[in-house]
């Protein structure tokens, strides 16, 4: 069933809360930027399997006080028919128990769904897109080969990301790559090495690092890149649909 069909059904059908709800640490009720072309709420899941030194959401990495599941579900039910989309981000959403069941319930409420992921659990991405439960997948390609220690990435991170991308493409779901660009981690050479893994026509969002609040590793000096660096990368990779954010 398509998302449009779900939306029509959701106007008359009351959906029970899933037995297993993801750990939601926070909700942004409305975003006009995170889900292209779709007004959406953002759900922030708790827990992550990486430890990026520049992470600006360290409070989501470990245990903490989450929103009551009933409160989250009440918000989602109340907004159905009035809010078009839901963005599930983190943390790392693919770590959540019952994620597939939760996505299914969101579909039944009529929502379009965007899933943000670091791509380290390709089997979960594969299950979600093959079941038709996601409309847009954003995958974080964080660093060039050889810099995995900055994020605690496994040695086969590249292969896992490519497995995710292959599953998303097979399912006909919109794929977006994202890289948060910062000094000293990225330069033109390293960004070019990242881009070498993408296919012609892929969407690649270059997000300029912004130090807003506490970082995971405050001892490491990091800075936003020169804007000209981002412009150079965009011009050098005209075969990609690059965007600077």
Residue 114 scores a pLDDT above 90:
yes
- 168-181 residue pLDDT tens: 999 999 999 999 99
Q: Where are the domains of the chain?
A: 3-177
User: In sequence order, what DSSP letters do the residues of 157-217 get, joined into one string?
Assistant: HHHHHHHHHHHHHHTT-EEEEEEEE-BTT--HHHHHHHHTTSPTT-EEEEEEP---S--S-
Cβ-contact 39, 51 below 8 angstroms: no
Name the pairing type of β-strands 112-117 and 85-89: parallel
* Mean predicted confidence (pLDDT) in 152-162: 96
Cβ-contact 163, 130 below 8 angstroms: no
**Which residues, other chains included, contact 59 with Cβ-Cβ below 8 Å and sequence gap of 6+?**
25, 214
Fold classification of 3-177 (topology level) = TIM Barrel (3.20.20)
- Which range has the worst mean pLDDT, 48-52, 207-211, 228-232, 239-243? 207-211
- 32-87 residue pLDDT tens: 999 999 999 999 999 999 998 888 788 888 888 999 999 999 999 999 999 999 99
User: In sequence order, what DSSP letters do the residues of 176-191 get, joined into one string?
Assistant: EEEEEE-BTT--HHHH
Q: How many whole angstroms separate alpha carbon 80 and alpha carbon 69?
A: 17
* Confidence label for 1 from pLDDT (cuts 50, 70 and 90): very low
């Amino acid at each position: 069933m398509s998302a449009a069909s779900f939306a029509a059904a959701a106007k008359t059908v009351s959906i029970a809360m899933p037995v297993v709800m993801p750990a939601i640490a926070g909700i942004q009720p409305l975003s006009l930027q995170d889900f292209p072309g779709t007004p959406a709420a953002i759900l922030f899941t708790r827990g992550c399997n990486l430890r990026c030194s520049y992470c600006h959401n360290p409070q989501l990495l470990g245990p903490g006080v989450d929103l009551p599941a009933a409160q989250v579900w009440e918000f989602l039910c109340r907004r159905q028919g009035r809010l078009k989309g839901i963005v599930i981000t983190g943390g790392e959403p693919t770590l959540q128990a019952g994620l597939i069941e939760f996505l299914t319930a969101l579909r039944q409420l009529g929502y379009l769904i965007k899933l943000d992921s670091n791509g380290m659990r390709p089997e979960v991405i594969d299950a979600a897109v093959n079941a038709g439960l996601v409309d847009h997948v954003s995958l974080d390609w964080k660093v060039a080969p050889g810099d995995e220690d900055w994020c605690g990435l496994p040695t086969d991170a590249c292969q896992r990301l490519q497995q995710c991308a292959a599953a998303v493409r097979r399912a006909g779901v919109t794929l977006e790559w994202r890289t948060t660009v910062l000094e000293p981690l990225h330069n033109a050479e390293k960004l070019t090495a990242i881009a070498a893994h993408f296919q012609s026509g892929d969407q690649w969002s270059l997000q300029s690092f912004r130090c807003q609040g506490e970082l995971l590793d405050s001892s490491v000096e990091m800075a936003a890149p020169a804007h000209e660096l981002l412009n150079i990368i965009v011009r050098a990779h005209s075969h990609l649909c690059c965007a600077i954010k």
